[in-house]
């Protein structure tokens, strides 16, 4: 199954998450996304990448019903795979514009935070790191990326509350860069991708690395222990009971 | 003497600084505050802590007249004790809401910065890291906590000026989260404590640690040398002359 | 040739960049600036320093036409010299106020970022880290200083775009502290320098170091590899072609 669709136009590659109604993330999505990115990184004619979702969701986050069948060891392997992907995306040498076409939750929000520029649809769609709401923690890397964009005070407010934000609130917090109505979302994305893609590639890659490499080192250094703590909490009785009540379809 | 009063209600423990007119901090206050916190950390029915002061002050900061009788060695021991306390409080696994019922100065402000949420009374009360005004430095850990909340630019403005801020200015700077009139201060505090206390404890503790542990490591790494430099400046002739002129009662 | 003019008045030393029409930076300017600063650091009657430029520019940045005649080795030596200077300035124990009397570009902006307070003239003058516009990277240390003042989100916007900002925009981004019309620029500078210069020197130096020493360690740790990458990009065919088209007089 292809859960990630690729389109190319004028040096801009668009990757579209396309898995069920909510683009729930699992190992296959992570693997396909990485494989696409690896190819796009190597293609000289690709100047910028747009990452978006199909339907009413950018992504709901993890496919929780699927993961309920996983052993802790299997789930931990997925978490390593997932956090490796967002770290790779965070350091991707070409510009990546996230187009948040709908709800952007938990793991979906983490992928978006790894990009260079986030444009979110106005209206009912929400963005959230809502893990605390169902008794889950987050990861060291996702915390660092959040801190990178919004600072520690807003990161604290976002993670402690697990609140869901519409585009304008998200922009005020620094979670996104632009809010755009549905009819102008695509044009805004292509404009942003074209602007960043027009920069000299070696200079862009070098500057991005100067801004992010030390952050990524911090992410990598703390990720393994944070994954273990995340899994401990995930498999605790109280959190497990919450997870069993989550419906994603 | 009991310088810290404890009240409990509905899973919320309230610690009230209660020492003289200005709740000046000394070794006894630090020891009692730590002892209370250690017990509250271990009590499963305590979901959140409120830290506040009695009277017109949250805290004036250090009891300078008392410390004028200390040798540099004794004073340094107190500084280690005090900075250990704020680092412990910064990493306290349960939510801590600081209710700034009045003036919140110097060391008092440092304790407040270690909490998760600060609500300050509107009106004449001021918050300040005013050390530079009497020729004193601050500590590495307090600098990191300040930076955590307000960023480097505002931290620079606050520490270079030693200015005293009313609640609305303090909120604009990021020093506090909420400003509340005297009659609504308690209700605002209980609301904030109840909200944070309602979160799943393991998830809250894990997320708080993800946000703060790396900061606390930075604090601990630099604290000893900063304490020595602080004491050198404190006992210099020029600063000592200023300290002798400070009246706190 | 004297490319840096020194004036002293009431404990405030003013250093004026004075090299051609645009105060382009080269090895001589860097050496003279460092020599002046070393002397001012040691003079007890100097309470604060103002750094400004003559004419319509604070500084255009590097003297690109001069550097086109340099071997990569010579240019790398200059880059080490220049980045050493801004790191020294960033840690200078006395207050330094940058008065941006006109355009403040690239390397000129980096020097300004190392100061404690920036006042920029209103009107047509622009401030920019415009390196990406001609295919150049920046340095690790300049990235850290930018991050220090404006946070990661604004640092990303500034460096990815290479945009040029007038004073009010620059203030909103956190690049400068004050915007002042030409006729009040000098008074604003002297006021800021006098305020900071009036603080107790040991306390000011200690607090400045607490805020900046860990940042400077990060700068130093990454500077050498960033200089090598900068030089690689600078001497690439594409960037070199851009550099040959830059006119500075």
Measured between CB atoms, does A233 come within 8 Å of chain B? yes
Q: How does residue A243 score in pLDDT terms, banded at 50, 70 and 90?
A: very high
pLDDT tens-digit profile of C45-67? 999 999 999 999 999 999 999 99
Asked whether the beta carbons of residue A135 and residue B196 sit closer than 8 angstroms, the reply is: no
Q: Which pLDDT score is estimated for A61?
A: 97
User: Over 90: is that where the pLDDT of C249 sits?
Assistant: no
pLDDT tens-digit profile of A69-121? 999 999 999 999 999 999 999 999 999 999 999 999 999 999 999 999 999 99
Distance from CA of residue C248 to its chain's centroid?
18
pLDDT tens-digit profile of A45-73? 999 999 999 999 999 999 999 999 999 99
Instruction: Closest CB to C210: pick one of B140, B236, B239.
Output: B140
Give the residue among C28, C233, C24, C40 at the shortest CA–CA distance from A199.
C233
Q: Which pLDDT score is estimated for B247?
A: 82
Instruction: Closest CB to B207: pick one of A137, A222, A239.
Output: A137
Measured between CB atoms, does A219 come within 8 Å of chain C? no
Asked whether the beta carbons of residue A138 and residue B174 sit closer than 8 angstroms, the reply is: no
Residues near B26 by Cβ (< 8 Å), separated by ≥ 6? Answer: B19, B62, B63, B66, B67, B78
Cβ contact B158:B129 at 8 Å: yes
Instruction: Closest CB to B143: pick one of C148, C151, C211.
Output: C211
User: Over 90: is that where the pLDDT of C247 sits?
Assistant: no
Token output for A176: 């996104």
Low-confidence ranges of chain B (pLDDT < 70): 249
Asked whether the beta carbons of residue C233 and residue A206 sit closer than 8 angstroms, the reply is: yes
Rg of chain B over Cα atoms, rounded to whole angstroms, equals 17
Phi-psi region of B9 (alpha: psi -120 to 50; beta: other; left: phi over 0): beta
Domains identified in chain C and CATH numbers: 4-185 (3.90.226.10)
Q: Which chains touch C (3 or more CB pairs under 8 A)?
A: A, B
Token output for A123: 């209206």
Torsion, CA A117, CA A121, CA A125, CA A126, rounded to 10: 30
Q: Which pLDDT score is estimated for A63?
A: 97
What percent of chain C stands above pLDDT 90?
Answer: 98
Q: Cα(A246)–Cα(A134) distance, rounded to whole angstroms?
A: 9
Residues near C107 by Cβ (< 8 Å), separated by ≥ 6? Answer: C25, C59, C61, C62, C82
Asked whether the beta carbons of residue A135 and residue B174 sit closer than 8 angstroms, the reply is: no
Mean pLDDT of C15-23: 97
Mean pLDDT of A174-203: 98
At C70, give phi and psi (nearest 5°): -85, 145
Instruction: Closest CB to B174: pick one of A137, A153, A233.
Output: A153
CB-defined contacts B:C, below 8 A: 63
pLDDT tens-digit profile of C182-239? 999 999 999 999 999 999 999 999 999 999 999 999 999 999 999 999 999 999 999 9
ipTM at complex level: 0.97
Q: How does residue A1 score in pLDDT terms, banded at 50, 70 and 90?
A: confident
Measured between CB atoms, does C90 come within 8 Å of chain B? no
Asked whether the beta carbons of residue C160 and residue A200 sit closer than 8 angstroms, the reply is: no
Q: Which pLDDT score is estimated for A249?
A: 63
Q: Which pLDDT score is estimated for C92?
A: 98
Cα dist. B15→B59, B125, C65, C218 in Å?
Answer: 13, 20, 67, 39
Q: How does residue A44 score in pLDDT terms, banded at 50, 70 and 90?
A: very high
Closest residue on chain A to C225 (Cα) = A210
Give C151's contacts in chain B (Cβ within 8 Å): 151
Q: Which pLDDT score is estimated for A165?
A: 98
Instruction: Closest CB to B200: pick one of A138, A156, A239.
Output: A239
């Amino acid at each position: 199954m292809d859960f990630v669709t690729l389109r190319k136009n004028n040096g801009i590659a668009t990757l579209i998450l396309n898995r069920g109604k909510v683009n729930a993330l699992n190992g296959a999505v992570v693997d396909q996304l990485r494989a696409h990115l690896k190819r796009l990184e190597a293609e000289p004619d690709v100047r910028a990448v747009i990452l978006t979702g199909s339907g009413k969701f950018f992504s709901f986050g993890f496919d929780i019903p699927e993961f309920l069948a996983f052993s802790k060891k299997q789930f931990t392997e997925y978490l390593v795979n997932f956090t490796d992907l967002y770290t790779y995306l965070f350091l991707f040498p070409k510009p990546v514009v996230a187009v948040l076409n709908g709800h952007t939750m938990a793991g979906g929000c983490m992928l978006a935070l790894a990009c260079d520029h986030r444009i979110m649809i106005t209206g009912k769609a929400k963005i959230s790191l809502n893990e605390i709401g169902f008794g889950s923690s987050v990861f060291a890397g996702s915390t660092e990326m959040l801190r990178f964009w919004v600072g520690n005070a807003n990161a604290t407010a976002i993670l402690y509350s697990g609140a869901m934000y519409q585009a304008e609130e998200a922009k005020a917090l620094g979670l996104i860069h632009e809010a755009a109505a549905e009819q102008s979302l695509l044009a805004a994305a292509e404009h942003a991708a074209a602007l960043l893609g027009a920069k000299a590639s070696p200079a862009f890659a070098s500057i991005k690395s100067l801004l992010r490499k030390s952050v990524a080192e911090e992410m990598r250094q703390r990720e393994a222990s944070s994954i273990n703590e995340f899994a401990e909490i995930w498999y605790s009785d109280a959190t497990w009971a919450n997870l069993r009540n989550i419906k994603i379809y």
